[in-house]
């Protein structure tokens, strides 16, 4: 009797949130001003006092430096703020991703958020966060750009659902909180993203010809479903929150005073800082007054050499358009997060470069006018994290149905492994930039939420080795489109194990016609 076992690597949750966003085209987001001052409390008192003392030393320009990125490819990390040379204070280093250190070597590729959530284990949520935080710390990163609760997963084809945890806001909230505790326990600032209602990749951002899509939502659904995990993140003491590309009720996420000032900083009493998603800032004064504290990567468009803040923020303070206290609050919030996680004692120099894998290169990739120097020290930060990764992989496997006792297998006479997803990418696991393809076995989606694999074991290799141990005849077939041959291969075996996957990712990459 032929037993067929289907194994699926799915990076698209098949559930939809119980409450669905409305689509009222005329819905608006009410204004809420002024932006609330940080006041300390709830575990922030010591960090707040240290931040006040630090910021009180700064000039206007130095405060602006803390808030404004130096531009895409301006320094070694994907995001970098200006420095304060007078105090020997290096600018902040922000680095993807929610599953590992992006654009770096000798790092781990941790299981995706959706896999981790499937373990239902607070212990593993926390351990994964702590391991990721320690790897970022070891590379000199100040802020890990994760974890993810936006998208929550309203639409299975949304694109980036796999970066987050679950469409269940309670499960996601617990996973967010434990991950944040783990990351920040390792001495790195966590960044809860993408706030809020960032539920699709199509039309997510403003273009030269059209505005970004607007997620229109009633206040009750916003609070009971989509805000819930961010509330848990704030309760866990998260140091930063990233505002999203999309509009919320027809107001851009990074200049929406209702979601930033009223909900996040007032209702939730968030004490950390709000940073923009990369090029998600669309105005200078409006975003500052609405509660944005840091602009990333700093330029209006990648490599544009123009900024809504920087010199423009300085001018707005001097001419009174933006009050001085708002800039002071930005700087204090940023430095409070720094002190809260102990960056003043855990910080080391950045020892990798996002823009080249070579040992030597230009310190400023966009402006290679200086001498070549060492930019990658190739520091191995993996420790023994492979054991944790394997444990999460085991615990996140879901058995949907075991018909007629097909499992467990016990030394079957013959085994057939069917499907491309069981096999390796012929070019290697990192062959496609930012994992922008679906070739071979699938272990993460595509986009900025990725990291390079140090290795990736294909299921066919492990099954072939086990079959040899069991003296089982072994056959495999990887062509997904020659179903007749696949059927023949399966028919000649006592057990057929069929591998399939469903991939998705971020909108700047198109894979097999899917943006």
Characterize 447-483 residue by residue with b for buried, 16 or more Cβ atoms within 10 angstroms of its Cβ, and e for exposed.
bbbbbbbbebebbbeebbeebeeeebebbbbbeeeee
Find all residues with CB under 8 Å of 152, minimum gap 6, and list them: 17, 164, 167, 169, 172, 199, 225, 226, 229
> What are the E-state strand segments in 216-262?
240-243, 247-248, 251-252
The distance of Cα 237 from the centroid of its chain, to the nearest Å, equals 18
The verdict on whether omega for the bond into residue 382 sits within 30 degrees of 0, i.e. cis, is: no
Find all residues with CB under 8 Å of 68, minimum gap 6, and list them: 81, 82, 294, 295, 298, 307, 309, 310, 313
Q: What are phi and psi of 259, to 5 degrees?
A: -75, -35
Largest CA distance in the chain: 82
Nearest to 324 by CA among 50, 59, 85: 59
> What are the E-state strand segments in 27-114?
79-80, 93-95
The verdict on whether omega for the bond into residue 379 sits within 30 degrees of 0, i.e. cis, is: no
Which two three-digit tokens encode residue 511?
A: 């894979």
Which active-site residues does the annotation give?
Answer: 277
């Amino acid at each position: 009797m032929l037993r067929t076992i289907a194994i699926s690597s799915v990076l698209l949750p098949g559930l939809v949130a119980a409450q669905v966003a409305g689509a009222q085209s005329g819905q608006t987001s009410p204004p809420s001003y002024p932006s609330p001052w940080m006041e300390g409390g709830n575990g922030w008192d010591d960090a707040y006092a240290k931040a006040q003392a630090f910021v009180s030393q700064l000039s206007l320009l130095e405060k602006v430096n803390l808030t404004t990125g130096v531009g895409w490819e301006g320094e070694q990390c994907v995001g970098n703020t200006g420095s304060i040379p007078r105090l020997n204070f290096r600018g902040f280093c922000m680095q993807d991703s929610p599953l590992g250190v992006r654009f770096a070597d000798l790092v781990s590729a941790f299981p995706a958020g959706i896999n981790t959530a499937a373990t239902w284990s607070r212990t593993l949520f926390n351990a994964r966060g702590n391991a990721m935080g320690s790897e970022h710390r070891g590379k000199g990163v100040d802020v890990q750009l994760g974890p993810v609760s936006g998208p929550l997963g309203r639409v299975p084809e949304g694109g980036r659902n796999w970066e987050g945890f679950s469409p269940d806001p309670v499960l996601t909230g617990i996973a967010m909180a434990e991950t944040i505790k783990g990351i920040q326990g390792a001495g790195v600032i966590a960044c809860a993203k993408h706030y809020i209602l960032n539920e699709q990749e199509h039309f997510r951002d403003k273009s030269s010809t059209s505005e970004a899509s607007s997620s229109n939502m009633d206040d009750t659904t916003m609070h009971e479903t989509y805000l819930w995990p961010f509330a848990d993140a704030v309760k866990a003491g998260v140091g930063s929150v990233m505002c999203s590309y999309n509009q919320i009720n027809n107001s851009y996420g990074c200049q929406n005073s209702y979601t930033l000032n009223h909900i996040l900083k007032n209702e939730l009493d968030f004490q950390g800082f709000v940073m923009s998603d990369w090029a998600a800032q669309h105005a200078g004064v409006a975003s500052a007054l609405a509660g944005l504290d840091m602009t990333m990567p700093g330029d209006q468009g990648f490599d544009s050499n123009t900024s809504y803040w920087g010199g423009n923020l300085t001018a707005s303070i001097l001419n009174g358009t933006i009050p001085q206290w708002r800039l002071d609050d930005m700087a204090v919030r940023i430095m409070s997060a720094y002190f809260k996680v102990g960056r003043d004692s855990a910080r080391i120099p950045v020892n990798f470069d996002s823009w080249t894998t070579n040992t030597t290169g230009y310190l400023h990739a966009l402006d290679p006018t200086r001498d070549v120097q060492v930019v990658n020290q190739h520091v191995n930060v993996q420790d023994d994290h492979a054991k944790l990764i394997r444990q999460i992989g085991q615990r996140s496997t879901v058995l949907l149905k075991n018909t007629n006792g097909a499992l467990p297998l016990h030394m079957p006479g013959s085994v057939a492994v069917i499907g491309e997803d069981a096999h390796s990418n012929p070019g290697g696991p990192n062959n496609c930039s930012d994992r922008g393809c679906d070739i071979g076995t699938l272990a993460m989606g595509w986009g900025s939420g990725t990291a390079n694999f140090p290795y990736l074991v294909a299921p066919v290799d492990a099954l072939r080795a086990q079959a040899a141990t069991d003296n089982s005849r072994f056959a495999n077939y990887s062509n997904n489109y020659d179903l007749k041959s696949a059927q023949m291969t399966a028919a000649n075996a006592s057990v057929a194990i069929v591998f399939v996957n469903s991939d998705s990712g971020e909108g700047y990459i198109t894979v097999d016609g899917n943006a």
